[in-house]
Amino acid sequence: MKMATLLLAAAAVPASGAATYVGSQSCKPCHASVYERWRRTRMANVVVDPRLHPEAVLGDFTKPNPLVTFRLSDVAFVYGSKWKQRYFALRGNTYYVLPAQWDIQNRVWRPYHVGKDNDWWYAYYPEDNKDRPTGPLCDGCHSVNYNIATGQVTEWNVGCERCHGPGSDHVRQPSPANIVNPSRLDFVAANDVCIQCHSQGRPKANPIKNVYYDWAVGFTPGARLADIWDLEEHKLGQTTFTHYPDGEARKNRMQGNDFVQSLMYRRGVTCFSCHDVHGTANPADTLKPGNALCLECHGPQSPNGPRGTLEAHTHHRTGTSGSLCVNCHMPRIAPEIAHVNIHGHTFRFVTPSMTRDYNIPNPCLDCHNTKTLAWVESQLASWRNVSPWRVK
**Does residue 5 sit in helix, strand or coil?**
helix
User: How far apart, in whole angstroms, are the C-alpha atoms of residue 211 and residue 137?
Assistant: 10
261 and 146, same structural domain? Answer: no
Q: Is the pLDDT of residue 11 over 70?
A: no
Beta bridge partners of 143: 156
Q: Considering the domain boundaries, does residue 315 fall inside one? A: yes
User: How far apart, in whole angstroms, are the C-alpha atoms of residue 1 and residue 192?
Assistant: 37
Q: Considering the domain boundaries, does residue 220 fall inside one? A: no
User: How far apart, in whole angstroms, are the C-alpha atoms of residue 270 and residue 137?
Assistant: 27
Say which amino acid occupies 192.
D
Q: Considering the domain boundaries, does residue 200 fall inside one? A: no
State the average pLDDT for the chain: 94
Look at residues 147, 180, 213 and tell me which one is the last residue of a structural domain: 180
158 and 284, same structural domain? Answer: no
Q: Is the pLDDT of residue 373 over 60?
A: yes
pLDDT score recorded for residue 1: 45
Q: Considering the domain boundaries, does residue 199 fall inside one? A: no
Long-range contacts of 259-268 (CB under 8 A, 24+ apart): 259/191, 259/195, 259/345, 259/346, 260/191, 260/195, 260/231, 261/346, 262/345, 262/346, 262/347, 262/348, 263/347, 264/347, 265/187, 265/191, 268/187
Nearest in space to 212 (alpha carbons), one of 278, 135, 288: 135
Q: How many domains does the chain have?
A: 2
Q: Considering the domain boundaries, does residue 237 fall inside one? A: no
Q: How many residues does the chain have?
A: 392
What global pTM score does this model have?
A: 0.93
pLDDT band at 10 (very low <50, low <70, confident <90, very high): very low
For residue 61, count other CB atoms closer than 10 A to its CB.
Answer: 17
Q: Considering the domain boundaries, does residue 188 fall inside one? A: no
Domain encompassing residue 22: 2-180
pLDDT score recorded for residue 5: 47
User: How far apart, in whole angstroms, are the C-alpha atoms of residue 20 and residue 144?
Assistant: 11
Backbone angles phi, psi at 94, to 5 degrees: -120, 135
Q: Is the pLDDT of residue 17 over 90?
A: no
265 and 138, same structural domain? Answer: no
275 and 153, same structural domain? Answer: no
161 and 33, same structural domain? Answer: yes
pLDDT score recorded for residue 312: 94
Look at residues 153, 180, 207 and tell me which one is the last residue of a structural domain: 180
297 and 161, same structural domain? Answer: no
User: How far apart, in whole angstroms, are the C-alpha atoms of residue 290 and residue 381?
Assistant: 27
115 and 22, same structural domain? Answer: yes
290 and 172, same structural domain? Answer: no
147 and 54, same structural domain? Answer: yes
Look at residues 180, 197, 212 and tell me which one is the last residue of a structural domain: 180
Q: Considering the domain boundaries, does residue 240 fall inside one? A: no
Q: Considering the domain boundaries, does residue 214 fall inside one? A: no
pLDDT band at 7 (very low <50, low <70, confident <90, very high): very low
262 and 174, same structural domain? Answer: no
Counting residues of the chain whose pLDDT is more than 70, the rounded percentage is 96
122 and 35, same structural domain? Answer: yes
274 and 173, same structural domain? Answer: no
Residues 303-337 pLDDT 10s: 999 988 999 999 999 999 999 999 999 999 999 99
Backbone angles phi, psi at 38, to 5 degrees: -60, -40
